[in-house]
Amino acid sequence: MDLTEVVAGELGHARDRTLGLLEPFDDADLLRQVSPLMSPLVWDLAHIAHYEELWLLRAIADATPTDARYDDLYDAFRHPRRERSELDILGPTEARAFAADVRSRVLDHLATVTFDGDRLQRDAFVYGMVIQHEHQHDETLLATIELMEREYEHPEVGLPGGSCASGQQVAPDAHSAGGGNGFVAVAGGTVTIGTDGEPWAYDNERPAHTVELAPFRVGARPVTNAEYAQFVADGGYDDERVWSPAGWAWRMEAGLAHPQGWRREGDGSWSRVRFGHRDALTPDEPAEHVCWYEAEAFAGWAGARLPTEAEWEAAARSGALGHTGRVWEWTASDFLPYPGFESFPYREYSEVFFGDEYKVLRGGSWATHPLARRATFRNWDFPIRRQIFSGVRLAADDH
């Protein structure tokens, strides 16, 4: 199978996934603003199509826009999510037709493409970028759907993360965390971070470069619900000592005392509302829907810390990390460019987000497509975000 066939197949898989996720919803649900944190589902569908037209037809094939208004309506930077339901966006029928028309024209053009020379380097990446973009929005769709708190049945959400029990528990003191209770030693030294050779890697994953790491320990698997429930029971949300000043200010303002979706039952046990289903909290599944401040506080309570993203990637490359891909794992690192970073193919994918406002997540979640679940992939978000499928993996200095 040549690269053209691979690209066509991956475009098809992404679109089947998108439409399948949305299929159970009527027009009212597709148009509804579920949360000010999220766009209406139909906005995401039309945005996916507009992005594809922008890059695979207008940038590569020099095509004209379907409608010039879409450059405003579906530009993620021009209108905050909380305002998108008030825009004159396409309805569900029109959005599906727009997406189908764009895809038909993309496939027609793709049939004429030969990936060679400079085109192999540039255009092949752009096709990969568009495919990954759709899968990333599919994960956003799933986050929006979960916030609906209505019963939602779909094969993709049948396994909320799988068992990650290791037979060991995280003890809330620094000696236990550093001493190996559920931790794996990583030698450190000179390690390579990032990539030059992954053809579909984003600009923020490049270039490959070396960093010096001191020896450290990293959790063999993400923190489980049972461990996180111990933190809650121990008064972790009321103990200012384990929170950073910014985290404690957020916790007091938000008034939250447990992860998103958790509910206390009459007998004192915890349940979790997940895609409209209220079930007993599964002890050995990864704790999910915690923000960076919560992850940092849990680490402080456990006598540990969050890994830096360089530590996380070094541990992943060495095979030290078990049970990745269940939840996104917060790191201690701000989202910053690598040495020698160059924006490609546009500044707005990465460069405009660099700084200390965003924290890096690694590893991918159960909702992340395998195309974006690689050791070098960098996700980022505000430290207060909980609607994403995020959890915690601990680290500690080696002693």
What is the per-residue pLDDT across 285-334, written as a single tens digit (0 to 9) for each? 999 999 999 999 999 999 999 999 999 999 999 999 999 999 999 999 99
What's the average model confidence in pLDDT over 120-143?
91
What's the average model confidence in pLDDT over 211-220?
97
For residue 165, the model assigns a pLDDT of 39
Q: Is the pLDDT of residue 13 over 90?
A: yes
For residue 118, the model assigns a pLDDT of 65
219: confidence class by pLDDT, cuts 50, 70, 90 = very high
For residue 157, the model assigns a pLDDT of 77
pLDDT tens profile 54-85 = 999 999 999 999 999 999 999 999 999 999 99
What's the average model confidence in pLDDT over 12-35?
97
Q: Phi/psi at 364 (nearest 5 deg)?
A: 85, 160
At residue 23's C-alpha, the angle toward residues 135 and 271, to 5°, is 80
Q: Which residue has the higher pLDDT, 55 or 113?
A: 55
Omega prior to 207 cis, within 30 of 0: yes
Q: Phi/psi at 306 (nearest 5 deg)?
A: -85, 145
Q: Is the pLDDT of residue 90 over 70?
A: yes
Region for 189 from its dihedrals, namely left if φ exceeds 0, alpha if ψ lies in -120 to 50, beta otherwise: left
pTM of the complete model: 0.94
Q: Are 299 and 310 in contact (CB under 8 A)?
A: no
The mean pLDDT value of the chain amounts to 92
What's the average model confidence in pLDDT over 370-382?
96
- Residue 166: how many CB atoms within 10 A of its CB? 16
For residue 120, the model assigns a pLDDT of 62
pLDDT tens profile 136-184 = 999 999 999 999 989 998 888 754 444 443 334 444 443 344 334 599 9
2: confidence class by pLDDT, cuts 50, 70, 90 = confident
Q: Which residue has the higher pLDDT, 118 or 302?
A: 302
For residue 162, the model assigns a pLDDT of 42
Q: Is the pLDDT of residue 97 over 60?
A: yes
Q: Is the pLDDT of residue 338 over 50?
A: yes
Q: How far apart are CA 190 and CA 203, in angstroms?
A: 23
Measure Cα distances from 215 to 8, 185, 212, 309, 315 in Å.
Answer: 44, 7, 10, 15, 11
Q: How far apart are CA 93 and CA 42, in angstroms?
A: 9
Residue located via tokens 């003890």: 171
Question: Token pair of 32, please?
Answer: 């509804």
Q: What order of strands is seen across the sheet that includes strand 395-397?
A: 183-186, 216-219, 395-397
